[in-house]
């Protein structure tokens, strides 16, 4: 089941990467798919890109249909993630505020929040504090690994 799920995510990533635009607007979305693949492997459970989750499933779990900063979610809606493809700029609370406030919007408090980012990106002290307190789980991905995976999947 997990292997098939990963293959589907890889196909979506491959399609996107193959149509990438000259100005690389597609790359952050590719990074979301790569992040979903990585979380699926880490947790050994399926993760989906938010835009691929049906509105009915979102409603069923009391989550908003419109984008509120969630990029990735597991099937039980117990782990939600935001994927940030920032190379050199600093991730601040303000850049994550919509995502971090989701517990105020959703009538559900028992979910874990994860940040998936490039390892070279910087985080401000407020985000570091949230990570050290366990409020936010931090996953760092090497950009070279991500790009190499995209190139590898280009042939799918």
3 state DSSP class of 36 = helix
H or E element that contains 146: helix 143-153
Q: What is the pLDDT of residue 21?
A: 57
Residue 19, pLDDT > 80, answer no
**Nearest Cα residue to 36 out of 92, 75, 68, 1:** 75
Q: What six digits make up the tokens of 104? A: 């105020």
β-strands 72-74, 79-84: how paired?
Answer: antiparallel
Sign of CA dihedral 145, 12, 30, 77: negative
Q: What is the DSSP string of 99-119?
A: HHTHHHHSS----EEEEEEET
Q: What is the pLDDT of residue 24?
A: 63
**Domains of the chain and any CATH numbers:** 2-153 (3.40.1350)
For 34-87, write each residue's pLDDT tens digit. 999 999 999 999 999 999 999 999 999 888 888 788 999 999 999 999 999 988
Whole-angstrom Cα distance, residue 144 to residue 59?
37
Whole-angstrom Cα distance, residue 58 to residue 140?
27
When mean pLDDT is compared across 14-18, 37-41, 114-118, 126-130, the lowest value belongs to 14-18
């Amino acid at each position: 089941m997990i292997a098939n799920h990963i293959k589907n995510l890889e196909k979506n990533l491959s399609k996107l990467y193959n149509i990438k635009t000259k100005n690389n607007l597609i790359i952050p979305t590719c990074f979301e798919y790569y992040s979903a693949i990585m979380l699926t492997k880490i947790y050994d459970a399926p993760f989906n890109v938010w835009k691929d989750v049906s509105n009915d499933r979102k409603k069923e779990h009391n989550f908003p249909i419109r984008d509120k900063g969630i990029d990735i979610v597991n099937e039980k809606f117990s782990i939600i993630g935001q994927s940030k493809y920032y190379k050199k700029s600093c991730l601040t609370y303000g850049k994550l505020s919509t995502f971090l406030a989701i517990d105020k919007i959703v009538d559900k408090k028992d979910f874990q929040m994860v940040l998936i980012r490039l390892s070279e990106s910087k985080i401000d002290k407020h985000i570091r504090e949230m990570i050290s307190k366990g409020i936010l789980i931090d996953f760092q991905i090497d950009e070279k690994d991500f790009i190499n995976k995209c190139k590898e999947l280009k042939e799918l």
